[in-house]
């Protein structure tokens, strides 16, 4: 399998030198898997706990974030900011949910749920074929002086996601999409930088996300690889469970 990826990488590089034709979107996405650690590295990772910080510069607030993930699709993510309290989001089986001191608990539905479940897939990077049935390389754009391939990935449900992959390094440096949220469809732009090796996989240490009026930066500090995560970490919080039960009783 790795040999196949390497072949695709060479094809992509060759295409780059020749200026045209463009490499296929699939080859770009597979190259990303390869340059960030390879399929085996991803598949060896069964669980992870990522620790970092989050900062909202325009508001002047900072906090901590922790992301728990387990194969294939368990996901729990928490941000703690003193002035706001805890904000949690998770995917527990078929239920995608969030809970915060400010807005309270809620269960996601429709496109928003589909997007959350897709984003909660621990091996989304490797499993892009399952998540995005249609991918297309739409050409080259320059980002921060670097030529990047613009790859449009279209899921079965939800808006297309546009990834920008550096021609030279193969790393993804930008993502844009329109997120479906309960408040409406919101344009999202994510800029990634400072790729570092976190336990055998390269990940961006700094991610800046603009979503509507809100901009924040997440700094990834360390990743625990294959830790034992108690199953209750991914269980529905009581407040969310009550909502699920209430909806079922309606």
Partner 1 sequence: MLSRRLIPLILVVSSAFAQAASRLDLDSFEKVWTTIRDKHWQVKPGGLDWQAIHDEYRPRVEKAATHDEAVAVMQEMLGRLKQSHFAIIPEVVYSVLDDDGEGPGVIGSGTTGIDARVLDGHAVVTSVDPGSPAEKQGVRPGWEIERAGGKELKAVIEQAHSNPAVHELQLTRAVLARLSGPIGGTLDATFLNSSGSKVKVTLGLTPPRGVVSSFGNLPEQHVWFESKKIGSTAYVRFNLFLDLPHVMASFQQTIDNCKACDGLIIDLRGNPGGIGGMAMGMAGFLVDKPNQRLGTMYLRDSTLKFVVNPRADVFSGPVAVLVDGSSASTSEIFAGGLKDLGRARVFGTHTAAAALPSAFERLPNGDGFQYAVANYISEGGQPLEGLGVTPDVVVELTRTALLADHDPVIDTAVDWIRRQKKP
**Candidate residues 14, 72, 85, 133; the one interacting with partner 1 per rule CB under 8 A:** 85
Of residues 104-163, which lie at the interface with partner 1 (CB under 8 A)? 104-106, 115-116, 119, 124-125, 128, 163
Tell me if 174 sits within 8 A of 148, measured CB to CB. Answer: yes
**Candidate residues 185, 200, 224, 225; the one interacting with partner 1 per rule CB under 8 A:** 185
Q: How far is the CB of 48 from partner 1 (least distance, A)?
A: 14
Q: How far is the CB of 104 from partner 1 (least distance, A)?
A: 5
Which token pair is 196?
A: 């570092």
Which token pair is 63?
A: 């906090």
DSSP state letter for 29: H
Closer residue to partner 1 (CB): 14 or 57 = 57
Q: How far is the CB of 124 from partner 1 (least distance, A)?
A: 5
CA distance 151 to 135: 7
187 in contact with partner 1 (CB under 8 A): yes
26 in contact with partner 1 (CB under 8 A): no
Per-residue HEC secondary structure of 130-176 comes to: HHCCEEEEEEEEEECCEEEEEEEEECCCCCCEEEEEECCCCCEEEEE
Helical (H) or strand (E) element with 42: helix 39-44
216 in contact with partner 1 (CB under 8 A): yes
DSSP state letter for 54: E
**Candidate residues 214, 221, 222, 226; the one interacting with partner 1 per rule CB under 8 A:** 214
Per-residue HEC secondary structure of 99-127 comes to: EECCCEEEECCHHHHHHHHHHCCCCCCCC
Closest by alpha carbon to 175, among 196, 197, 193, 194? Answer: 193
**Candidate residues 177, 223, 229, 234; the one interacting with partner 1 per rule CB under 8 A:** 177
**Candidate residues 43, 144, 157, 239; the one interacting with partner 1 per rule CB under 8 A:** 239
Which of the stretches 7-15, 20-28, 177-185, 194-202 binds partner 1 when contact is defined by CB under 8 A? 177-185
CA distance 152 to 58: 30
Residue 57 CB neighbour total at 10 angstroms: 11
> Which class for 235: exposed (0-12), middle (13-18), buried (19 or more C-beta within 10 A)?
middle
**Candidate residues 13, 84, 143, 235; the one interacting with partner 1 per rule CB under 8 A:** 84
Which token pair is 222?
A: 């360390």
Closer residue to partner 1 (CB): 222 or 246 = 246
Closer residue to partner 1 (CB): 14 or 101 = 101
166 in contact with partner 1 (CB under 8 A): no
Binding positions for partner 1, rule: CB under 8 A? 29, 32, 54, 56, 58-61, 65, 77, 79, 83-85, 87, 89, 98, 100-106, 115-116, 119, 124-125, 128, 163, 172, 175, 177, 179, 181-188, 190, 192, 204, 207, 209, 211-214, 216, 218, 239, 242-243, 245-246
């Amino acid at each position: 399998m790795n040999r196949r990826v390497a072949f695709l990488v060479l094809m992509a590089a060759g295409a780059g030198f020749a200026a045209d034709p463009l490499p296929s979107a699939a080859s770009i996405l597979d190259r990303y898997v390869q340059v960030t650690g390879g399929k085996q590295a991803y598949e060896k990772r069964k669980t992870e706990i990522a620790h970092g910080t989050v900062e909202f510069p325009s508001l002047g607030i900072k906090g901590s974030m922790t992301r728990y993930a387990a194969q294939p699709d368990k996901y729990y993510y928490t941000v703690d900011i003193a002035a706001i309290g805890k904000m949690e989001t998770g995917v527990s089986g078929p239920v995608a949910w969030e809970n915060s001191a400010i807005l309270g608990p809620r269960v996601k539905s429709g496109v928003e749920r589909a997007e959350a479940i897709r984003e909660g897939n621990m091996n989304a990077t490797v499993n892009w074929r399952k998540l995005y049935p249609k991918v297309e390389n739409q050409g080259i754009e320059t980002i921060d002086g670097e030529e990047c391939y613009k790859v449009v990935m279209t899921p079965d449900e939800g808006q297309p996601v546009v990834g920008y992959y550096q021609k030279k390094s193969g790393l993804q440096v930008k993502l844009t999409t329109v997120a479906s949220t309960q408040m409406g469809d919101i344009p999202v732009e994510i800029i990634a930088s400072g790729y570092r090796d976190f336990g055998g996989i390269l990940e961006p240490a700094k991610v800046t996300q603009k979503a509507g009026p809100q901009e924040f930066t997440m700094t990834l500090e360390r990743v625990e690889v294959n830790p034992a995560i108690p199953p209750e970490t991914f269980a529905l919080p009581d407040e969310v469970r009550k909502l699920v039960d209430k909806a079922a009783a309606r």
